[in-house]
């Protein structure tokens, strides 16, 4: 299971604005993994590019413009921050997404407006009260209260999908769908059905996203590690397969990413 300190998916940590993660309370454990709150205040004319290789999951996001349900992505994404702003998001577990969307596959690579005016009002009121931690905490508390009132408890399928996601996220030795099915004690067909119904991606796409996140993190954090070593650690056939996956999703080569000085320089 991913922890609050999980750095996977953050491609350039030095470029992050003020950023906070908070664990969901135990009462939401099967529905929300964590809440995340970025804030930024930039000088006129200044911009800050945020590059993200997202988790293979969906997020319910509140920002000044409204509420949106953002689905899983198949490519790295970016956003250029300007001026002053904030967002409060919930990284949804598979069972949590199923409570909000009957067809997660419709959300792939898109963000759809989500009708929750009371959620927007409460979170915006808390975040608009100031830049202090108390305002942020009130916003997360308001989001938590809304989630408790509006997200249904996981059913058996949702719990199985959560367990599937946890297995992929925590076990680097899983890089094939049949391995995942064996870990879960079920069939590959059942794994495929859970992935489509509760996440909106194929199980192989979920596996590859976690492994690619881990590859990027290894290359970012260890300048001495070789691409071949990372490929072997994460179950790629060879470094050429890792390089191809890297270029396809991130748009650059592993060596270019590993050598980028922006990993450590703002």
Cα angle, residue 224 at apex, residues 222 and 225 outer, rounded to 5° = 75
d(CA 33, CA 2): 8
Q: State the architecture of 156-263 in CATH terms.
A: Orthogonal Bundle (1.10)
d(CA 9, CA 14): 13
Evaluate if residue 49 carries a pLDDT over 60: yes
Residue 8: per-residue pLDDT: 83
Residue 266: per-residue pLDDT: 40
Q: Look at residue 194 and give its three-state secondary structure.
A: helix
Instruction: Taking residues 135-154, report their average pLDDT.
Output: 96
What residue segments make up the domains of the chain, in order of their start? 13-150, 156-263
Cα angle, residue 165 at apex, residues 163 and 166 outer, rounded to 5° = 65
Evaluate if residue 263 carries a pLDDT over 60: no
Residue 43: per-residue pLDDT: 93
Query: What CA dihedral angle connects 214, 244, 232 and 2, to 10 degrees?
Result: 20
Minimal CA–CA distance to 63: which of 146, 129, 139? 139
- Kindly indicate the confidence band of residue 128, based on its pLDDT and cuts at 50, 70 and 90: confident
Evaluate if residue 165 carries a pLDDT over 50: yes
Instruction: Taking residues 172-191, report their average pLDDT.
Output: 96
In Å, how far are 69, 73, 83, 100, 245 from 249, measured between CA atoms?
A: 22, 10, 29, 27, 6
- Kindly indicate the confidence band of residue 237, based on its pLDDT and cuts at 50, 70 and 90: confident
Give 51-95 pLDDT, tens digit per residue. 999 999 999 999 999 999 999 999 999 999 999 999 999 999 999
Residue 47: per-residue pLDDT: 92
């Amino acid at each position: 299971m991913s922890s609050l300190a999980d750095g996977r998916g953050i491609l350039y940590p030095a470029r992050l604005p003020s950023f906070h993660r908070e664990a969901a309370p135990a009462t939401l454990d099967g529905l929300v993994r964590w809440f995340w709150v970025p804030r930024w205040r930039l000088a006129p004319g200044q911009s800050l590019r945020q590059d993200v290789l997202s988790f293979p999951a969906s997020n319910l996001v509140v920002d000044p413009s409204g509420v949106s349900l953002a689905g899983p992505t198949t490519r790295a994404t970016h956003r250029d921050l300007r001026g002053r702003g904030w967002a409060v998001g919930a990284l949804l577990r598979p069972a949590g997404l199923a409570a909000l969307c009957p067809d997660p596959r419709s959300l792939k690579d898109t963000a759809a407006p989500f009708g929750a005016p009371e959620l927007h009002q409460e979170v915006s009121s808390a975040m608009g009260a100031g830049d202090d931690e108390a305002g942020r905490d009130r916003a997360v508390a308001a989001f938590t209260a809304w989630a408790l009132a509006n997200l249904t408890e996981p059913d058996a399928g949702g719990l199985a999908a959560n367990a599937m996601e946890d297995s992929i996220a925590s076990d680097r030795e899983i890089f094939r769908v049949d391995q995942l099915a064996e870990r879960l004690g079920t069939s590959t067909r059942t794994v495929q059905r859970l992935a489509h119904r509760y996440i909106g991606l194929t199980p192989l796409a979920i596996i590859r996203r976690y492994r690619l996140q881990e590859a990027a993190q290894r290359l970012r954090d260890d300048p001495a590690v070789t691409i071949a070593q990372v490929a072997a650690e994460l179950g790629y056939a060879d470094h050429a397969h890792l390089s191809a996956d890297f270029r396809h999703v991130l748009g650059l080569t592993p060596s270019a990413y590993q050598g980028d000085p922006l990993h450590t320089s703002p």
